[in-house]
Amino acid sequence: MSQTPFDPSRRRFLSLPAVAVVGGSGLMAGCGFLPIIAKPPKLYTLSPKSTFPDGLPVAQYQLGVEKPASPAVLSTAKIAVARGAYQMDYYSGALWVDDAPNMIQRLLIESFENSGQIVAVGRDSVGLRSNFVLRCEVREFQAEYPSVESEDAPFVHVSINAKLIGLPKRVIVAVTTETQRIVAPENKLDRIVETFDVALGRVLRQIVVWTLTLPETQGFRPR
């Protein structure tokens, strides 16, 4: 009976260990390959406000909330860090569940809904027949360290400018800037995210209360 000739190159190929390669690359070490396995980032989300002062007036109008504008450094799912007066960075291995402007828009809409004091509120892009539009700009949304070398717990700085615009003429009815700057209990990411939740929550509540209590909108009835 004839036999298939032995092929040394085939033996060398079969002797290599099986390797899972992440990202299409591997690391040569000795006679085998070691995998490069990237650890997935931790995902963080924040919460809408659900508690408001008693006696808020009921808004009879429909409100559209635009996606907030923001600087490019904040238009991302990365969690922004300011180190000193001039350096911006991001925490490694951590992301928001969505880019910051989208996340803030969703939380602001949910906060208005949780107030129970407005007839209708939604994203301005979904075709809601709004009587007013809330246009926001995220000016600050980062943790802040006093210097590049600092290992102290950072401040969390949140600042949002809001403009209420009357339709259909698209005139600016009123403007406010709501700001919170709160020191985190510890220089640990989980505690810093908790402080983001407190700071953003206070800003969201201030914007909701400001919008619902504006004299310019009191007694408004859609035609």
CATH number at residue 158: 3.40.50.10610
**Residue 220 pLDDT:** 73
Q: What is the pLDDT of residue 29?
A: 46
With respect to residue 64, please indicate whether it lies within any of the assigned structural domains.
yes
Would 145 be classed as within a structural domain?
yes
pLDDT at 127 (0 to 100)? 66
Q: What is the largest CA-CA distance in the chain?
A: 101
**Looking at the domain assignment, is residue 105 inside a domain?**
yes
The pLDDT value given to residue 34: 65
Q: What's the pLDDT score for residue 124?
A: 85
Strand pairing category for 32-35 and 26-29:
antiparallel
Residue 107, in any domain of the structure: yes
List 112's β-bridge partners, or say none.
none
The string of pLDDT tens digits covering residues 118-157 is: 999 999 876 678 899 999 999 999 999 999 888 999 999 9
DSSP state, 75?
A: S
CB within 8 Å of 64: residues ≥ 6 apart: 121, 122, 123, 124, 128, 130, 132, 133, 134
Contact predicate 43/97, CB 8 Å:
yes
Residue ranges making up the domain that contains 98: 42-217
Domain for residue 97, yes or no?
yes
Say what the pTM is: 0.81
Number of domains in the chain: 1
pLDDT number for residue 32:
58
Which residue shows structure tokens 């950072």?
Answer: 154
Instruction: Give yes or no for a contact between 101 and 69, defined as CB atoms under 8 angstroms apart.
Output: yes
Q: Specify the DSSP class assigned to residue 23.
A: T
**CA-CA-CA-CA torsion for 91, 67, 180, 144, nearest 10 degrees?**
20
Is 127 a member of any domain?
yes
103 falls within a domain:
yes
β strands within the chain, DSSP E = 26-29, 32-35, 42-44, 59-65, 78-83, 87-96, 118-123, 132-145, 155-166, 171-183
What stretches in the chain show pLDDT beneath 50?
1-29
